[in-house]
C-alpha cells in the first residue's frame, strides 16, 4: 500500500465512518485555513500578532459554536463536525484553534446550557457571527489545577452583584466584549456571571513575552468592585460542575485539534524526507527516518480512532468526563512527540519559520498544560480506575 498524501493521513479508512456532510465541513474548513491562516501564520507568530480580523472571518465560516442550535446563530451540527472543525483549524495553528474553541465551548456553550432565554438571545447570535469575542474566566494566579479554591467573589447588593478578584491566563481576554466568569458567592458556592466590556472596574491586561500561542491573545481579567446586573447571572447552574461541564466540551475539541497539529508536522516531515538528499539518496530511504515516520503515522491513526469513537459517544450523550480527559491527554502528548520527531527529520531547517514544526511544538507546550495539565488528566484516569482521588 503506497501511502498517498491527499490531505490528512487516513491509514485506516476513517473517512468511511464520516458522512458526506462531515467531509464537506472538513473541506470547507481546510480551504478556509489555507486561504486565511496558513499564508500569514508564521509572520503573526514571529511578531506575536493576534489578527483581530480573523474573529469575524471565523464567524462567517461557522467556526463559532458549531453545536449550538441554529436559532441562536450556531451551526446545529453534531460533535464529530465540531471535532473536524477544530482539527482543521489546529492544522493551521493551535492559537487560532484556541480562539475558536474558547468562543464555542467556553463562552457560547455555558450561555446556551446554563443561561436564560434572554441571555441566549442577547449574546449568542453576536458571538456566533464574530461580532463579539468572548473569554472564560476560571483560572486564577494562585488556583489553576484546583479551581475550587478560587478567591474571586460576588456579594449580593440588592439590585446587582459586586464582583472582586482576578483571573489569569485567559485566552481572548484583551479583545473580548464578553467574559463568562466564575466566582464564589457569600455562601461559598461557585456561580457563573456574564461580565461585559465597559462595566466600571473591569479591565483585561494583556500578557506579553509568550514563547507559545504567539498568534493568540492572552491576558488577565481584573475585577475591582464591578457592578454586575442580576440578570447577568447564569441561572441554571450551581457549583464547580458548571465550569467543569464547559471544560468537557473544550477538552473534546482539543483532542481533535491536537491531531490536526500532529498531521501538519507529519505531512511536512514526510515531504521533507523525500526531498532532502544525503549520502546520494533521500533521507526517507534510511531505516531510522522510516521508523520515525511509521511510528508518527501509527500514533496519529490511533488518536484519530480515539477521537472518532469519542465523538460518537458525545453525539449519543454517553461520553464521560473521564473518557474526554483520557483523549485530551493522550492526543496532545502524541502531537508533541510527533512534533519533536518531525523537528529532527527536518534537521536544522526544523527550527526556522520556513516550516511549521517549531511553532507547533511551542504551541503544544501550552496545550498540554491548559484545560487540565498532563499530570492531572492522568490522575483523573487513575481515580476512575481505583476510586481513590490522588490529587487532593
Active site residues per annotation: 371
Cell of 18: 464520516
Side-chain-side CA neighbours of residue 13 (13 Å): 2
Specify the long-range contacts of residues 377-382, CB closer than 8 Å, at least 24 apart: 377/325, 377/326, 377/328, 377/329, 378/329, 380/321, 380/322, 380/325, 380/326, 381/322, 381/325, 381/326, 381/329
Specify the long-range contacts of residues 81-84, CB closer than 8 Å, at least 24 apart: 81/21, 81/22, 81/25, 82/252, 82/253, 82/256, 83/252, 83/253, 83/255, 83/256, 83/307, 83/311, 84/18, 84/22, 84/25, 84/26, 84/29, 84/256
Which of 1, 105, 18 shows the shortest CA–CA distance to 304?
Answer: 18
Helix axes 79-92, 20-36, angle to 10 degrees: 20
**CB–CB of 245/317 below 8 Å?**
no
Amino acid at each position: 500500500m503506497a501511502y498517498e498524501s491527499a490531505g490528512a493521513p487516513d491509514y485506516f479508512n476513517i473517512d468511511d465512518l464520516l458522512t458526506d456532510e462531515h467531509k464537506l465541513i472538513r473541506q470547507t474548513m481546510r480551504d478556509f485555513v489555507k486561504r486565511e491562516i496558513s499564508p500569514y501564520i508564521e509572520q503573526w507568530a514571529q511578531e506575536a500578532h493576534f489578527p483581530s480580523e480573523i474573529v469575524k472571518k471565523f464567524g462567517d465560516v461557522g467556526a463559532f459554536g458549531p453545536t449550538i442550535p441554529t436559532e441562536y446563530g450556531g451551526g446545529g451540527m453534531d460533535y464529530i463536525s465540531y471535532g473536524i472543525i477544530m482539527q482543521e483549524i489546529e492544522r493551521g495553528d493551535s492559537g487560532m484553534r484556541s480562539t475558536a474553541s474558547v468562543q464555542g465551548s467556553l463562552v457560547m456553550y455555558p450561555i446556551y446550557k446554563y443561561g436564560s432565554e434572554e441571555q441566549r438571545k442577547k449574546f449568542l447570535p453576536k458571538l456566533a457571527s464574530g461580532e463579539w469575542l468572548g473569554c472564560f474566566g476560571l483560572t486564577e494566579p494562585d488556583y489553576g489545577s484546583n479551581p475550587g479554591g478560587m478567591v474571586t467573589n460576588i456579594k449580593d447588593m440588592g439590585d446587582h452583584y459586586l464582583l472582586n478578584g482576578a483571573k489569569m491566563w485567559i485566552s481572548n481576554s484583551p479583545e473580548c466584549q464578553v467574559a463568562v466568569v466564575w466566582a464564589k458567592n457569600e455562601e461559598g458556592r461557585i456561580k457563573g456571571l456574564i461580565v461585559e466590556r465597559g462595566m466600571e472596574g473591569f479591565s483585561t491586561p494583556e500578557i506579553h513575552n509568550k514563547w507559545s500561542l504567539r498568534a493568540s491573545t492572552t491576558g488577565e481579567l481584573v475585577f475591582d468592585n464591578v457592578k454586575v446586573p442580576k440578570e447577568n447571572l447564569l441561572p441554571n447552574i450551581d457549583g464547580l460542575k458548571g465550569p467543569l461541564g464547559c471544560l468537557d466540551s473544550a477538552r473534546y475539541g482539543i483532542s481533535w485539534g491536537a491531531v490536526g497539529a500532529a498531521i501538519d508536522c507529519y505531512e511536512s516531515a514526510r515531504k521533507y524526507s523525500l526531498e532532502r538528499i544525503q549520502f546520494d539518496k533521500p533521507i526517507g530511504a534510511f531505516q531510522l527516518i522510516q521508523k520515525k515516520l511509521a511510528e508518527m503515522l501509527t500514533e496519529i491513526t490511533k488518536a484519530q480512532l480515539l477521537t472518532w469513537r469519542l465523538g460518537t459517544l458525545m453525539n449519543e450523550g454517553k461520553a464521560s468526563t473521564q473518557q474526554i480527559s483520557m483523549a485530551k491527554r493522550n492526543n496532545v502528548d502524541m502531537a508533541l512527540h510527533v512534533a519533536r520527531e518531525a523537528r529532527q527529520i527536518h534537521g536544522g531547517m526544523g527550527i526556522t519559520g520556513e516550516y511549521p514544526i517549531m511553532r507547533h511544538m511551542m504551541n503544544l507546550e501550552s496545550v498540554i498544560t491548559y484545560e487540565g495539565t498532563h499530570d492531572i488528566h492522568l490522575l483523573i484516569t487513575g481515580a476512575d480506575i481505583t476510586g481513590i482521588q490522588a490529587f487532593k
